[in-house]
Amino acid sequence: MRNRLCKIVATIGPASASPSMLRLINKAGVDIFRLNMSHGQHDKLTGVTKAIREIEKDIGTPLAIFADLQGPKIRTGAFANEFIKLRYGAEYKLVHSYESNDENVIPIPHQELLDVLEPGDVLKLDDGKLQVTVSERNSRHIIAKADTPGELKNRKGINVPGRRLPISALTEKDRADLKFALDLGVDYIALSFVQQPDDVKEARELIQGRAGIISKIEKPSAVEQLDEIVELSDAIMVARGDLGVECAAEDVPILQRKIIRTCRRAGKPVIVATHMLESMVESISPTRAEASDVSTAVYQGADAVMLSAETAVGRHPPTAVAIMDRIIAATENDEGSEGFHNYSSQDEDYTTADAITLSARRIAEVLDCKFAVAYTKSGSTAKRLSRDRPHCPIIAPTPEAQVARELALFWGVQPVVTEDIAHFHEMIEKADTLAKSNGGADGDRIIIIAGYPFGRKGKTNTLKISRIGAPD
């Protein structure tokens, strides 16, 4: 068991795709592996997935894998010399084309974007490094004025802050990648550039329960409908890269906190991503600001924090993971961490299962319990307990391998695949064994949660306080 409760996600790329490196970063602290479908080739991703499942088998711990779909990334076309120079205040034509030889034309191979642009709209190019503002549109093309000088290269991204685009969150490439990822057996699918709840519904119909859905919040329109998107999703990612381009820089920290709190209230896991330890792509240590950034996400109660280029193409993937692991553990040792805050509301309609897990949280705090052991078939018991944030790790025995891998994303949960229990004596005996195998000792207090009759879904109704090694 890890010495922390917040989970670590690592993006797999050329620097980390070998079986030996995958083992190293898992040992250093990776709980969830991200496959970036924007760059990954199917044959290589097949090998990566197989290697992760071998690691999982060898260490006896379920590991989660999610495929991150590229989404409808809007880009410029190609230029004659591979770039054009934008001159401050100069006017450029925006035309529907895949390429252009005119240095005063910006080709855009997305008619749907050109159809909705209006005078006053701002286009941020190349992750916000360059910017133009639409000044005029007519029947043939759109005129935009350059707000910043610089080189605009081929196929750079275009963001239009505040403008909802009439496009699906799933392109033809995404649909092909989705089918491949589901056949590969990934545990979650991450949807990029979600704009509205219908984008999640569309993906849900295609996935048909074969994987969970992680909705990436990176557009203002998604923030405006955050509650509905969270309700429809299995998890949320605060994708600060494009969110930081679409929104003002000063708004991103506030939005991050808002998204985390919304997810915490809904009991949905939330990942904070992008540029967390970015300097470690090259450096062997992070900046103080980066360490503080990771710590802030943990303080706010994120279920997981993510490494992107640091592990995909960085020079020191295991070191980046190890340092993130240490930052999380140090932050969680601070009693003032909001990560343990409970977001239950007096207005909620509580079920028996809610009462059981809320009681378990309080008992764990009062009695300083070593573990909470949450027997679960569907995963709901462990998820509820994770939402309530007990002051101890949660061991989640389940007979379902898919459920166990899904639970690997949840705060504090250590899933274990094991046969279902049949009676109370076995419930206590197995809880003792699992607690000891994860560092517990005779005499340590543990909480045991289960549903009776055993083996049924949705019947969390039993709580027992026990001591490891004590007679029944």
What are the catalytic residues? Answer: 34, 75, 216, 274
Q: Which of 243, 263, 267 is nearest to 253 (CA)?
A: 243
Which runs of consecutive H residues, i.e. helices, occur in 369-454?
380-388, 401-407, 424-437
Distances in Å between the alpha carbon of 458 and those of 351, 359, 375, 447?
Answer: 11, 18, 11, 19
Q: Which of 303, 279, 282 is nearest to 290 (CA)?
A: 279
**CA distance linking residue 463 with residue 53, whole number of Å:** 34
Residue type, 184: L
Q: Tokens 């009062």 belong to which residue?
A: 366
Q: Which long-range contacts (CB under 8 A, 24 or more apart) does 437-443 make?
A: 438/1, 438/371, 438/393, 438/395, 438/414, 439/1, 439/370, 440/370, 440/371, 440/468, 441/468, 442/467, 442/468, 442/469, 443/467, 443/468, 443/469, 443/470
Tokens of 322: 């190890």
**Would you say 254 and 240 are in contact if contact means Cβ atoms under 8 Å apart?**
no
* Residues in Cβ contact with 97 at an 8 Å cutoff, skipping those fewer than 6 apart: 77, 105, 107, 108, 109
Which runs of consecutive H residues, i.e. helices, occur in 4-72?
19-28, 42-59
**CA distance linking residue 57 with residue 59, whole number of Å:** 6
Q: Tokens 């898919």 belong to which residue?
A: 402
Sign of the alpha-carbon torsion through 351, 353, 355, 361: negative
Q: Is 91 left (phi over 0), alpha (psi -120 to 50) or beta?
A: beta
Give me the half-sphere count of Cα atoms (radius 13 Å) on the Cβ side of residue 194: 34
Name the E strands within 322-459. 371-374, 394-398, 413-417, 445-451
User: For residues 386-409, b (16+ Cβ closer than 10 Å) or e, as one string?
Assistant: bbbbbbbbbbbbbebebbbbbbbb
How many residues are present in the chain?
A: 472
- CA 216-346-300 angle, to 5 degrees, is 40
